[in-house]
């Protein structure tokens, strides 16, 4: 057996072993990635010292960036959540769009809300609004739920500073400004097709009433809306302008960081300022501090309460950071072993475009593992060594991140925790959950892949 064949076989067996440990043995993804990285290193003949050095390089280079970004993002998102920002955004958009176009409002609201707030948390917060609308209009819960779910999933998978895109960008080395830009360009059409359009269709096929057990949430929301309308408690929810401004602020700053070199001269003072405040570290630090003041201090939260809220928010962030770091180790092990060069050569021989390889890798891992973030981290680790052998522009690197994101959201099923969350909160059978949640996610995936494939034709 030749060396190249052995390297590819090791990579394939490594991924299979990883899936076995996570799916069948229920081993935590972080530990599974660490263990498989050790095995891959030994299998390709690396010395113990080389393996340890590769671990340090892979973890260090990956976590150095994403730990700060994900940590800051988690804190500002949690303050926004406890202050009622998500409810305010959704209620205001529904009011502005009107009841007839409420599905479009919910799709856009989900798209914006899931940027700072984790998808599962955002869904729990907003479900009472869906229940209220379904009871009021007597329409299927899917008419309102599918657009919201589509918006939440698109932002969760494609638009930083959500964990998946941040992790993939870090591992691949993509500029976050370009990732945000292409994430929006690809994500909005995907949300429209999988959200309001598919939601209108599937709600006529499957009528889902509000689950009886959830009526208490409906009553609680109605009481909250009455207080807001009567202005009995003007501070019950923050203003719409403050919420939308704080969510968009880091995105705008990071986009300016990316665009400044193209629109301003190299020695321009303004360019230097925009590049600095638009760096993810600075942009999210500014946003987080403003969030503490506007949605914390000004709304009556004490310093101790803010500290408790933000400390709690770092618990899930810590898990994501560790898994991403372990994914970086796995990717670095593939680079150090020479697998990247072999895969690149094999792709060239079979004429498989990099975009197609990235999408298929992420899609297969998503179907097998279930988690969007784990699928993005692992597939990015496999694609990164191939990218390192090529000369690829910054915009194209960002397109590859969105391609991976598109593959990583495809076909959620019984191995996905989100599948059971949707199943429970919508009170659907497993079959109806597959026909609605699984299909809408697959639509997002295929539309995203189609658009990134088109973009790649102009950027490769």
Query: 134 versus 447: which is more confidently predicted?
Result: 447
Enumerate residues 6+ apart whose C-beta is below 8 A from 384: 171, 172, 173, 331, 334, 335, 340
Q: What are the structure tokens assigned to 366, written together? A: 């998503």
User: How many residues are present in the chain?
Assistant: 460
CB 218, CB 135: distance < 8 Å: yes
Question: Smallest Cα–Cα separation from 328: which of 279, 284, 379?
Answer: 379
Contact 144, 368 (CB under 8 A): no
Asked if pLDDT for residue 270 goes beyond 70, the answer is: yes
- Measured from the Cβ of residue 131, the count of other Cβ atoms closer than 10 Å reads 26
Q: Does residue 226 carry a pLDDT above 70?
A: no
pTM above 0.75, yes or no: yes
In tens, the pLDDT along 62-100 reads 787 788 888 888 898 889 888 888 888 888 988 888 878
Number of structural domains in the chain: 1
Question: Where does the pLDDT of residue 234 fall: very low under 50, low under 70, confident under 90, or very high at 90 and above?
Answer: very low
Banded model confidence at residue 233, pLDDT cuts 50, 70, 90:
very low
Tokens of 428: 């659907």
Token code pair at residue 460? 């490769």
pLDDT tens by residue, 177-221: 999 999 999 999 999 999 999 999 999 999 999 887 666 555 655
Residue labelled with tokens 């370009």 = 178
- Tokens matching residue 407: 């593959």
Residue 259, burial from CB neighbour count under 10 angstroms (0-12, 13-18, 19+)? middle
Which one, of 265, 246, 10, lies nearest residue 115 by Cα? 246
What percent of the chain lies above the pLDDT cut of 70? 93
The CA-based diameter of the chain, rounded to the nearest angstrom, is: 77
Per-residue pLDDT for 152 more than 90?
yes
452 contacts: CB under 8 Å, gap ≥ 6:
182, 186, 355, 359, 399, 400, 402, 403, 406
What is the model's pLDDT at position 221? 55
Check: CB of residue 182 under 8 Å from CB of residue 402: yes
| Rg, C-alpha atoms of the chain | 22
The CA distance from 308 to 311, in Å, is 5
CA 221 – CA 447 distance, rounded (Å): 35
Residue where the block lists tokens 């809306």: 225
- For all residues of the chain together, what is the average pLDDT? 86
Per-residue pLDDT at 216: 58
pLDDT in tens, 339-358: 767 776 777 677 788 999 99
Residue whose entry in the numeric block shows the structure tokens 């490769």: 460
Please check whether residue 432 is in contact with residue 146, taking contact to mean a CB–CB distance below 8 angstroms. no
231 has a pLDDT exceeding 60: no
225 pLDDT more than 60: no
Q: Select, from the ranges 186-200, 249-263, 321-335, the one with the highest average predicted confidence (pLDDT).
A: 186-200
Q: Convert the pLDDT of each residue in 18-48 to its tens digit.
A: 878 887 888 888 898 899 999 989 998 889 9
Q: Which residue has the tokens 């009170």?
A: 427
Q: Which domain holds residue 178?
A: 3-459
Q: Which alpha helices (H) appear in 292-435, and where do they start and end?
A: 303-337, 339-350, 354-369, 372-387, 394-408, 417-426, 430-433
User: Hey, how many other C-beta atoms are within 10 angstroms of the C-beta on 281?
Assistant: 13
Give 334 or 437, the one with higher predicted confidence: 437
Specify the pLDDT at position 436: 95
Percent of the chain surpassing pLDDT 90: 41
Placement of tokens 């690809």 in the chain: 186
pLDDT given for residue 224 in this prediction: 53
Number of Cβ within 10 Å of residue 103's Cβ equals 27
- Cβ 7 vs Cβ 339: under 8 Å: yes
- Give the span between the Cα atoms of 318 and 154, in whole angstroms: 23
């Amino acid at each position: 057996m030749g060396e190249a064949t052995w390297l590819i076989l090791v990579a394939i067996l490594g991924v299979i072993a990883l899936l076995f440990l996570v799916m069948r043995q229920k081993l935590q993804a972080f530990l599974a990635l660490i263990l498989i990285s050790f095995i891959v290193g030994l299998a390709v003949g690396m010395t113990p010292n080389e393996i340890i050095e590769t671990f340090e390089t892979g973890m260090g280079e990956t976590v150095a960036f994403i730990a700060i970004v994900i940590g800051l993002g988690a804190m500002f998102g949690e303050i926004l959540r406890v202050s009622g920002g998500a409810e305010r955004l959704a209620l205001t958009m529904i009011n502005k769009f009107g009841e007839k176009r409420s599905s479009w409002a919910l799709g856009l609201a989900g798209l914006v809300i899931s940027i700072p707030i984790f998808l599962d948390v955002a869904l729990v917060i907003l479900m009472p609004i869906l229940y209220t609308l379904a009871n009021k209009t007597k329409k299927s819960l899917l008419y309102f739920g599918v657009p919201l779910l589509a918006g939440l999933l698109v932002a969760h998978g494609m638009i930083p500073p959500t964990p998946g895109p941040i992790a993939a960008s870090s591992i691949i080395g993509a500029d976050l400004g370009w990732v945000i830009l292409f994430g929006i360009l690809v994500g909005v059409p995907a949300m429209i097709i999988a959200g309001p359009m598919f939601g209108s269709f599937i709600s006529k096929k499957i009528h889902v009433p509000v689950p009886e057990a959830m009526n208490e949430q409906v009553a609680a929301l109605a009481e909250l809306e009455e207080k807001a309308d009567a202005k009995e408690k003007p501070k019950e929810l923050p203003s719409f302008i403050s919420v939308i401004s704080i969510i968009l602020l880091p995105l705008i700053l990071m986009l300016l960081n990316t665009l400044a070199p193209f629109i301003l001269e190299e020695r321009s003072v303004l360019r230097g300022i925009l590049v600095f405040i638009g760096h993810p570290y600075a942009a999210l630090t500014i946003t987080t501090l403003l969030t503490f003041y506007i949605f914390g201090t000004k709304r009556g939260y004490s310093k101790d309460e803010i500290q408790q809220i933000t400390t709690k928010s770092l618990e899930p962030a810590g898990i994501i950071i560790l898994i991403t770091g372990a994914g970086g180790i796995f990717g670095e092990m593939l680079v150090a072993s020479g697998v990247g060069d072999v895969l690149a050569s094999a792709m060239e021989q079979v004429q498989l475009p990099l975009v197609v390889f990235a999408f298929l890798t992420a899609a297969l891992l998503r179907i097998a593992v279930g988690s969007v973030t784990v699928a993005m981290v692992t597939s990015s680790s496999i694609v990164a060594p191939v990218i390192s052998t090529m000369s690829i522009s910054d915009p194209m690197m960002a397109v590859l991140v969105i391609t991976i994101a598109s593959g990583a959201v495809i076909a959620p099923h019984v191995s996905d925790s989100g599948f059971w969350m949707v199943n429970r909160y919508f009170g659907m059978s497993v079959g109806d959950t597959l026909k609605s949640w699984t299909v809408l996610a697959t639509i997002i995936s295929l539309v995203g892949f189609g658009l990134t494939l088109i973009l790649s034709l102009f950027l490769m």
